[in-house]
Chain A
C-alpha cells in the first residue's frame, strides 16, 4: 500500500493548477457574476474553454480509439480536482459522460461534427433526463418520440435542464415504445440541436443558480440525431455513471475553501487584537472540517485507483456519492460559522468575506444530495449490494 501521488502525478497536478490559474482570467471572474453565465456560456468562457480544447486537455481521459489520450482514472481525477478547485465552469458532463458515448454510438456524420466540437472546446451539451414527473424514478419519463418517415417527432417537457440556456445540444431521453413490458426498455437517446424549430427554454431560478425548463413541441428531428439503437437508451444513460459520479464529488474545491477560511482566520484580528484562529471554537470547526476532508480525499483517490484496477464495487461508488455530497453541506456550515454573521454577505456586497464564496456555495450545495441519484436510492444500493440486505417492495 502506498497512498501518495507519484512524482509524475504530483507534476501533473501542479501543471493543471498553473494552467487553470491562467484560464481564470479577470474577465471570466467578472462574467461569472452574471447569474446567466455562472455555469459558463459567456464569451470569455467560450474563449477559455476552446483554449483548453486546443491545448489537448479535454481529450485527456478519452480512450485513444475515440481520439483521446488514455489517461488513467487517477490522472483524470487529478485534472477534475484541480479544475474544480479553480472554479472554472468546466462542463464535465459534456466532456466526461456524454462525449465518449457519442464517440462510440453516434452516427458518422454527427460524430464527425459533435465529437470534434466537444474535443475542441466549442460544443456544450445539456442533459435532458428529468421531467416534472420523472426524477429519481427516471425510467417513468413521458417525453415522446414518434417515428415519421426519416424523422422523429418529439413532444414533451424536460426539467432542471442545466446549461440549456447556452448549450448547443440537448442530450435527450425520450420514450419510443410506450408498450414495452418494462418502462426502462422503451427509451431512446437523441441529440437535439437547440436552434431547431419547436424547441424552447425557460429559466428556472433556484436557491443557488440558474437552471432551465425545456420544451419540445412537434420538434421534427432527422434520424441521424438518434444515438444508439431504438429502445436501447437506458444502457447509454447508466453506462457512464461511475465516471460521472467521480466528477460530482471531489475534494479540491472544498479543500481550497477550507484553506482560504483558515488563512482568513489567521490574518483577521478579534476585538482583543489577537488572530481569530486562536479561538478554540474556530480551531474546533477547522479540525472537524479537516477530519472529514481527509476521509473524502482518500475516498476519491481510492475510487479513482479502483476504477483503474477495474475493481470499483457498486456499493463503493454510492458510498462516495452519499458521503461526499453530505459532507459538502456539512463543511460549508463549519466554515460559515468561522466567518460568523458576515459569512452571509453576498459576493460584491460591502463587507463580504472571501468574495462571498461560502455564501454562494451553501446555496448551490444542497442540490447534490438529491441530484445525480438521490441519496436515499444510494443508501438502498449500499445496504443491498454492500451488506446483502433484502430490499422492500
Chain B
C-alpha cells in the first residue's frame, strides 16, 4: 500500500505547475478567449519543449517513457489552471491506444511529432445520437484492399487543428478502428460551439476511401482498444477534474475570507464554511477514486469498474463544487472579468463527457447484477 508519488513524478508535476502557472493568468486567458480558436499554441509548444507532451510516450518516440500515472499529474495541473490545451484528446484518447495498438509506421508518423509539439492528433468518440464508440452508426464497406467510410462523428475536439483522428466504424461483421487523415477527400468539418469554448467539430464522412495502412485494429482487438480508450479517457477526466475542482474551491475559500458583509468576512459564517467543507470532502473522494483508476490502468490491472466509479464521482463533484463556488462568490462568480466562470464551464464539460453519472450508474448497476448473479458472491475487497 503506497499513496505517495515518486521523486520523478513529483518533478514532472512541479515542472507542469510552473509552466502552466506562469501562462494561465487571467489576462492571458482573456487573450485566448478572444481568439477565434480557443487554443493556446504557445503554451502547447512550451509544454512540448519541456518534454511534457511526451511524458507517457516511449523514449524511442521522443517521449519520457513514464507511465499513465505520471501523465495524470500533468492533467491534474491543466485542470487546476483550465489551460486551453488539448491534453486529453491528444495525449490520452488518441496517443495511448495508438502507441499500444498502432503499427510501427503509424506510430512513427504521429508520436514523435506529437511529443515535439509539431503534430496534433485527436479522437472521435461519439456520433449524433450515439455515445457508444463500440457500436458506431458510421459504416465501413470493404473496397479492394481498403474500405469506404460513411457517417458522422461529432464533438470531436481540435479536429481542425489535428492531422489525424482515431475513429471507429462498423464493417459488415466487425468493428474497425482507423487513424483517419483529416485531409481525406470526402471529409468535411463543421464547427461546433461548445459550452467551455473548446474547439469542437462535426466530422462528416461521405464515401471516404481508406487503405489498410491507416487501420489500427479490427474485431476483438478493436473492441479491446475502444474499451481501454474509454477507461483511459474517463480516468484522465477524473484526474483533470480533481485539479479543476480543487482550484475552484481554493478560489472560493480565498474570496469568502476577504469578502466582508455585515462587518465580517463571509467565510466566518458557518453556513459558508460548511458548504466549503462539503466541497472539500467531495474533492477528497474524487481524488481517491481518480487515483485508484489511474493507478490500476498504470499497473495494467482491470480498471473497468474503477474508471466507471471515478467518472461517476467526477460528474457529481464537478456539478456540486461548481454550483457551490458560484453561489459563494455571489455576483462576482458569474462576472467574466473574474476567472471562476471558465472553471465552471469546464466542470460542466467534464461532467458530461464520456458518460454522465446517470448513464454510468446504470452501467455499473448492470455489472453488479451480473457479478452477483453469475458467482452468487462478488469478490470482497
Chain A interface (Cβ < 8 Å from any Cβ of B): 1-6, 9, 74, 255-256, 259, 262-263, 265-267, 275, 277-278, 280, 282-284, 286-288, 290-291, 294-295, 297-299, 301-302, 305-306, 309, 315-316, 319, 322-323, 376, 378-380, 382-384, 386-393
Query: A9 and B1: CB pair below 8 A?
Result: yes
Q: Of the candidates A255, A306, A387, which one forms a contact with B276 in the assembled complex, judged by CB atoms under 8 Å apart? A: A387
**Across chains A and B, which 3 residue pairs bring their CB atoms closest together, nearest first?**
A283-B365, A383-B273, A287-B365
B2 an interface residue at 8 Å Cβ cutoff?
yes
Q: Of the candidates A2, A295, A299, A319, which one forms a contact with B280 in the assembled complex, judged by CB atoms under 8 Å apart? A: A319
B14 an interface residue at 8 Å Cβ cutoff?
no
Q: Mark B342-381, 1 if CB is under 8 A from A, else 0.
A: 0000000000000000000110111011001100111011
**Interface residues of B, dominant DSSP:** helix
B337 an interface residue at 8 Å Cβ cutoff?
no
Within 8 A of A (CB), among B1-53: 1-5
A5 to B335, CA, bound (A): 48
Query: B265 and A390: CB pair below 8 A?
Result: yes
Query: A383 and B276: CB pair below 8 A?
Result: yes
Q: Of the candidates B256, B281, B365, which one forms a contact with A286 in the assembled complex, judged by CB atoms under 8 Å apart? A: B365
**Minimum Cβ distance to chain A for residue B311 (Å):** 10
Q: Mark B211-244, 1 if CB is under 8 A from A, else 0.
A: 0000000000000000000000000000000000
**Minimum Cβ distance to chain A for residue B263 (Å):** 12
Q: Mark B235-272, 1 if CB is under 8 A from A, else 0.
A: 00000000000000110010011000000110111101
**Minimum Cβ distance to chain B for residue A355 (Å):** 18
A294 to B277, CA, bound (A): 20
A322 contact set on B, CB distance < 8 A? 277, 281
A3 contact set on B, CB distance < 8 A? 1-3, 291-292, 295-296
What are 5 of the A-B contact pairs (CB < 8 Å)?
Answer: A1-B5, A266-B369, A295-B313, A299-B288, A379-B277
Given contacts A376-B270, A383-B277, 9 further A-B contacts (CB under 8 A): A6-B1, A280-B362, A283-B368, A291-B364, A305-B3, A380-B274, A382-B281, A389-B257, A389-B272
B3 contact set on A, CB distance < 8 A? 1, 3, 301-302, 305-306
B265 contact set on A, CB distance < 8 A? 390
Chain B interface (Cβ < 8 Å from any Cβ of A): 1-5, 69, 249-250, 253, 256-257, 264-265, 267-270, 272-274, 276-278, 280-281, 284-285, 288-289, 291-292, 295-296, 298-299, 306, 309, 312-313, 361-362, 364-366, 368-369, 372-373, 376-378, 380-381
A242 to B269, CA, bound (A): 27
Query: B309 and A290: CB pair below 8 A?
Result: yes
B4 contact set on A, CB distance < 8 A? 1, 309
Q: Of the candidates B253, B284, B378, which one forms a contact with A259 in the assembled complex, judged by CB atoms under 8 Å apart? A: B378
B256 contact set on A, CB distance < 8 A? 389
CB nearest neighbor in B for A308: B1
